[in-house]
Amino acid sequence: MCIVPEHTEEEYPTLRVTCLASGSSGNSILVEYNHRAILVDAGLSTRKLLALLGERGLRPGSLDGILLTHEHTDHTRGAEGAAVRMEAPLVGNPPTLDRVCLTGRAVQQVRFSTGEPVTLGSFEVSSVPVSHDAASPVGYLVDTGDMRVAVLTDLGSVTPELIEPVSSADLVVLEANHETRRLIEGPYPQHLKRRILSDRGHLSNRQSAELIGMVLRSRPQTFWLAHLSRTNNTKREARSGVLRYLAGEGVAPEVLITDRDRPSLVWEPPSDDVQLSLLGSMSR
């Protein structure tokens, strides 16, 4: 297990998740907990990432890690620069980091084998293999002790490894890249359509809905549909398609849509969960 020294705070910790962007032009999810933070992917420019982090009060030394799901530039564009400027380690498996860390900069790295748990300050991180056309792509399950956040984008197909992180997370960031009809009838060349539709491409709205329907539990969960195609999907079509399918299954979870190229959704645990957690910590 890889361990980065833990940072402690005296006041009761709070959790906040922000989508900084999620689309073909850049992907980055910020998870803040107890005045510390991690990034899942850094696909925006270094300058943009630093500006967004600064707006949220994060300064050099306040990031416990920049987790990389895979090496594609819409997930790694600003990774090295942000790691240097924020004094944060890049975190990922060796095949991914070997393809990202190419400039010779002195960047701290935390390397793990896929499936190996990693401790980053107060964050417990698990990785799960996913099906996508990259060297060794993964999704992440981030655990703060009371809450779990799953970030699962760039999925070519629904695999058994996805079931546990989706079913156990309180917030699930899940790819809904395209509406199949739009893609097939749209302007993309045939070779690109075949790539997207393949088992190593991207999930459709229907596939995302089916995965949610397979694992939905009685405890409330929030789902963010992410990585929507600008050409082959719309926010309205993604949300309505997923909710329509789930309604047919007799369930109606909270489903929200991220923006492609700007900060959009923010999630915090329901106040009742925070209150119960606080009471539990006081009783120990």
Integer angstrom CA distances of residue 226 from 6, 20, 124, 157: 30, 11, 23, 15
CATH label of the domain that carries residue 67: 3.60.15.10
For residue 99, the enclosing domain spans 13-276
The answer to whether residue 281 sits within a structural domain is no
Q: What is the pLDDT of residues 253-274, one digit of tens each?
A: 999 999 999 999 999 998 754 4
The answer to whether residue 18 sits within a structural domain is yes
Tell me the mean pLDDT in the region 56-72.
97
Q: What is the pLDDT of residues 112-153, one digit of tens each?
A: 999 999 999 999 999 999 999 999 999 999 999 989 999 999
Which residues, other chains included, contact 155 with Cβ-Cβ below 8 Å and sequence gap of 6+? Answer: 130, 131, 132, 139, 162, 174, 175, 202, 203, 207
The answer to whether residue 235 sits within a structural domain is yes
The answer to whether residue 161 sits within a structural domain is yes
Q: What is the pTM of this model?
A: 0.90
The answer to whether residue 269 sits within a structural domain is yes
DSSP symbol at 173: E
DSSP secondary structure string for all residues of 66-91? EE-S-S-HHHHTTHHHHHHHHT--EE
Q: In total, how many domains does the chain have?
A: 1
The answer to whether residue 1 sits within a structural domain is no
Q: Is the pLDDT of residue 6 over 50?
A: no
Which of 87, 129, 130, 127 is closest to 111 using CA atoms? 127
The answer to whether residue 6 sits within a structural domain is no
Which of 170, 142, 138, 169 is closest to 33 using CA atoms? 142
Tell me the mean pLDDT in the region 30-46.
97
- In whole angstroms, give the CA distance from residue 251 to residue 263: 29
User: What is the percent of the chain with per-residue pLDDT over 90, rounded to a whole number?
Assistant: 84
Integer angstrom CA distances of residue 257 from 17, 30, 163, 173, 240: 14, 16, 21, 9, 11
Which residues, other chains included, contact 190 with Cβ-Cβ below 8 Å and sequence gap of 6+? Answer: none
Instruction: Give pLDDT, residue 280.
Output: 38
The answer to whether residue 229 sits within a structural domain is yes
